[in-house]
A and B are shown apart, each in its own frame.
Chain A
Amino acid sequence: MSRREKAQHIRHLLDTEGDAVFENTTHVNDGRLEANATRDDIEDLRTAARRIKEDAIEQLPDLIETVREQVEANGGEVYLADDAADANQYITAVAESKDADLLAKSKSMTSEEIEVNDALEAAGVDVCETDLGEFVLQVADEAPSHLVGPAFHKSTADIATLFNAHFDTGKPLDTAEDLTQFARDHVGDQIRAADVGMTGANFVFAESGTLALVTNEGNARKCAVTPDTHVAIAGVEKLIPSLDDFPPFAELIARAAGGQDIATYLSLLTPPVDSPVVDFENPHEPLDGASDDREFHLVLLDNGRTEMREDDELRETLYCIRCGACANSCANFQHVGGHAFGGETYTGGIATGWEAGVHGLDSAAEFNDLCTGCSRCVDACPVKIDIPWINTVVRDRINRGDDQEFDWLVEGLTPDADPGGLDLQKRLFGNFGTLAKLGSATAPVSNWLADWGPSRAIMERVAGVDRRRDLPAFRRETLVDWFESRDRSRPPATPTGRSSSTPTRTRTTCSWTAGRPPSGRLRRSAST
């Protein structure tokens, strides 16, 4: 997408989805801050959760072996899928082996990552999304715009318009309550008729072969327990050693996601479960788990995760528990939403790491510039991921990806030993200090020249500096000269209307696009 097309796309989203996204993110941010304020041990919980994820990723190969042995001992199957196609092939084969016509699925971003619905439908298996947000998007034929609230970009009125046009609802639906009731009944019928239930997993306890599912609606409980066949898909990074490791996540995940003290349902399922199959085709047959023959398949997805684990910079992404707090807390996300601030599957700040890892740099490049590196998300993240740093690293990798035609124009302005491949705009802004020295040494001529119409046209074309943008006005007197020549008998002058105790913040995103290779020093200065 060209710069102009991307700008147009973002303007369109600001008009069509911006209000709903802003309202929803504001609401959940307030909730998160309020919920965190009720406990004084949030920092301890975050530290504990972080450590558990670090250790789990470190010992991931062992955890995979442990869970495989345990699930098989429990009577289920484990399939380690290399990539999306591999996972889809296995899941489709399971559905076909059950002669399934209909699969009821609870919300799972990992299932979105592999686009399992398309694979199943190609094999003649209908898929019903049972999370109401996902259901709305299935009806609208749209992609999720948020990790937790997939229909975050839609208002009640948008959904009413959609449902009233798509379904014969009798009297038009209007309120959130009407819409929920209608969707619940419609989806409920599908769950009752489903041949296979599919869920994701927020965590997988390796030692017991247990899935932890975090939900509020109850649809995942129904999908897991109603049909006799349950398929769960989870990225390998969801493995943690055991139930003992669960409490910090139980406390943190719903607070971070939406400001609840605890999620409505934390299901700990060790399939095949004892609960009886609920067979609505035999409505009068008493439920009896003892006589049921349940089937369970755990599909563990790699799809780039092993490489991410070996990548010192991307590894941290695997600690993500997908609460969406990085998106909610992000000023840019709050305005444009996940259809701009997101890649093929994932949305928000952490999406850069996920997209780079599972889909590749091209997908991350589509939105990665929207991270300004402000670091609000770091404080919001329940596992303390340095999300701006991941964005910096990935952006740097993207920037170094290809050579540019006009390199010679800024060659003298870039002090790097190896400037090759960096986008011109990045190098211009990344080395603003050099440019500013030149500008002030030649002021005011430099100011006239910079503002001259043809100069602006060239800057816009070559370096992507919009011609409507105000340029800095250089002065020949440097700060040091000014300081030495100032009258020391008088207090320093302050700009009108602004107290001297509130300095203007002038440092902008330039440092994040610097042409320097990532370094520990940059990391510390940028992410605190």
Chain B
Amino acid sequence: MRTDTIDEFAASLDGADVACTRTEVADLTAVLDDVVDDPAVGAPLGIDGVSLDDTTVQTPPTPQLLSDAATGVTRVHGGIVEYGSFVIQADEAGTEPVSLYPREHVGVVCASDLHADVHAAVDWLGDEFDAGRDTAVLATGPSATADMGELVTGVHGPQTVHAVVVTDR
């Protein structure tokens, strides 16, 4: 993945009020320990050679952990460069609720999973749907509402979002 694509993604994340940390896979667990607020809960990342067991992040998720955790750590299966969006696919391990319930979401996205725009991301998702992975959310920035008269972040979903981009995967 070219560096300028990652730069562009980082710029879009910034515009969407999402922090971005870049790392190589070898340093990923150390970076996660650094960026998460404890207590943290996670769902398996599905990245070869990386286990949340090597971090302070607790697995598997339980309802109690979802309630108590300050941070939820999950894989982000795709990124949309244009808007700094996460594409998070649902799975039986609970990636969807872990990315949703805690106040902070830390999403781990591999540079090779970045797509230029919505069109490209939907093309990729079409293949994923065909393969049976047919539930996903395109999430852009922290949850928000203007229903109380002005814009407030942190409603039912996370108040802060942090992207960890694995540059060599």
Contacts and interface: CB of A to CB of B under 8 A. Distances in A.
B134 A225 contact: no
A338 interface: no
Interface in B110-169: 118-119, 122, 125-126, 129, 134-152, 154-158
A218 B148 CA distance: 16
A130 B125 contact: no
B122 A247 contact: yes
Interface string A238-270: 000001101100110000001001111111111
B90 interface: yes
A443 to B, nearest CB: 54
A208 interface: yes
A516 interface: no
Contacts of B137: 221, 265-268
Interface size range on B against A: 35 or more
A184 B67 CA distance: 14
A177 B140 CA distance: 21
B149 A155 contact: yes
Interface string B2-35: 0000000000000000000000000000000000
Interface residues of A, number: 70
A288 B63 CA distance: 11
A397 B155 CA distance: 45
Contacts of A526: none
Nearest to A180: B152
A254 to B, nearest CB: 9
B62 interface: yes
Given A177-B152, A222-B156, A278-B66, A263 B140 contact: yes
B83 A262 contact: yes
Interface string A295-313: 0000000000000000000
B135 A268 contact: yes
B63 A282 contact: yes
A187 interface: yes
B156 A221 contact: yes
Interface in B49-88: 60-64, 66-67, 83, 85
A287 B93 contact: yes
Contacts of B147: 131-133, 136, 149-151, 180, 217
A275 B98 CA distance: 10
B96 to A, nearest CB: 4
Interface in A161-184: 176-177, 179-181, 183-184
B94 interface: yes
A22 to B, nearest CB: 13
A192 B67 CA distance: 10
B157 A265 contact: yes
Nearest to B126: A243
B118 A156 contact: no
Given A180-B152, A276-B97, A289-B93, A217 B62 contact: no
B118 A219 contact: no
Contact of A208 (B134, B156, B158): B134
B63 A287 contact: yes
A426 interface: no
Given A133-B147, A176-B152, A221 B83 contact: no
Interface in A410-449: none
Contacts of A192: 63
B135 A273 contact: yes
B13 to A, nearest CB: 13
B92 A218 contact: no
Nearest to A288: B92
Which residue among A157, A181, A266, A275 has the maximum number of chain B CB atoms within 10 Å of its CB?
Answer: A275
A294 B145 CA distance: 30
B90 A218 contact: no
A270 B155 contact: no
A271 B90 CA distance: 11
A314 B85 CA distance: 37
Contact of A274 (B64, B91, B119, B141): B91
A187 B155 CA distance: 10
Nearest to B149: A156
Contacts of B93: 276, 287-289
A177 B147 CA distance: 11
Contacts of B140: 261-265
A219 B155 contact: yes
B100 interface: yes
A159 B91 CA distance: 38
A210 interface: yes
Contacts of A265: 137-140, 143, 157
Nearest to A279: B63
B135 A270 contact: yes
28 contacts: A150-B147, A155-B149, A156-B150, A179-B149, A180-B148, A180-B154, A184-B156, A192-B63, A208-B129, A217-B143, A217-B155, A218-B100, A218-B155, A219-B156, A222-B101, A265-B140, A267-B136, A267-B137, A275-B94, A276-B94, A276-B97, A278-B63, A283-B62, A284-B63, A287-B63, A287-B97, A288-B92, A288-B93
List the 6 closest A-B pairs by CB distance, nearest first. Answer: A218-B157, A289-B92, A156-B149, A133-B147, A218-B156, A283-B64
Given A179-B148, A276-B94, A284-B62, 11 more contacts: A133-B147, A159-B148, A176-B149, A180-B145, A184-B154, A216-B144, A218-B155, A246-B122, A263-B140, A287-B60, A288-B60
Interface of A: 20, 24, 130-133, 136, 149-151, 154-157, 159, 176-177, 179-181, 183-184, 187-188, 191-192, 208, 210, 216-219, 221-222, 225-226, 243-244, 246-247, 250-251, 258, 261-271, 273-276, 278-280, 282-290
